Copies of this chain bind each other. A is one copy, B any other.
Amino acid sequence: MNVVYLSDADARNRRAELVRASARLFRERGFDATTIRDIAQACGMRSGSPFYHFKSKQEILVAVMEEGLVAGLVTIEGIAAQPLAPRAKFRALVRTQLEFMLGEGHDFIPVLLYEWRALDEALQPRVLALKERYDALWHAMVVELKDAGLIQADPTVARLFILGSLTSAVQWFRPEGSISLDQLADDAVAMFLHSR
């Protein structure tokens, strides 16, 4: 029953491939509209084979969310730790956030943002802890901006509005369009930060 059909290394590779393909499909079609058969086919497998690597479709979703969030968090926390002036740090954080939401091959964060509801409540705590680290980091950034007089609104609402507007770009940004991620970051800074 518990016979091994793949070497450890092969199994790890195939698992990673499943997570990557699932992220892309979940992002493009949504979790509910993506079938296990779609995922298997995208990796050249038969329909039952993903279950060699994951207990359930929900476990695939949680893997997509966790792995994407961990990768993004490490990068973002690295930037937040740099000794930059508030305005420059904000610009750098925004630019990185945009990269993780809109850049080539970065399907994980959009899935996290748009498929949260599809995740079984029992599994949500596993992702929530990471999400909170994310929010805490941005909250500190916004408070720093407010102390510097660059933001006037309530910090919590400001944080939610800023992240919300960046998030919304997932819906309308087109990489082949005329606007670049750098321009987008500049516009965000111009919009959200007042001059003193």
Provide the bound-state CA to CA distance between A117 and B27, in Å.
11
Within 8 Å of chain B (Cβ to Cβ): is A169? yes
Which residue of B118, B163, B168, B194 is within 8 Å of A160 (Cβ)?
B168
Known: A30-B118, A32-B30, A191-B158. A164 touches B153 (CB 8 A): no
State the CA gap A192–B192 with chains docked (Å): 6
Given the complex, which residues of B lie within 8 Å of A30, measured CB to CB? 32, 117-118
- Whether A164 lies near B169 (C-beta < 8 A) is yes
Whole-angstrom CA separation of A171 from B168 in the bound complex? 12
From known contacts A30-B117, A33-B32, A117-B30, infer whether A160 and B172 are also in contact, taking CB-CB under 8 Å. yes
* Residue positions of A touching B, CB distance < 8 A: 29-30, 32-33, 117-118, 151-154, 157-158, 160-169, 171-172, 179, 183-184, 187-188, 190-192, 194-195
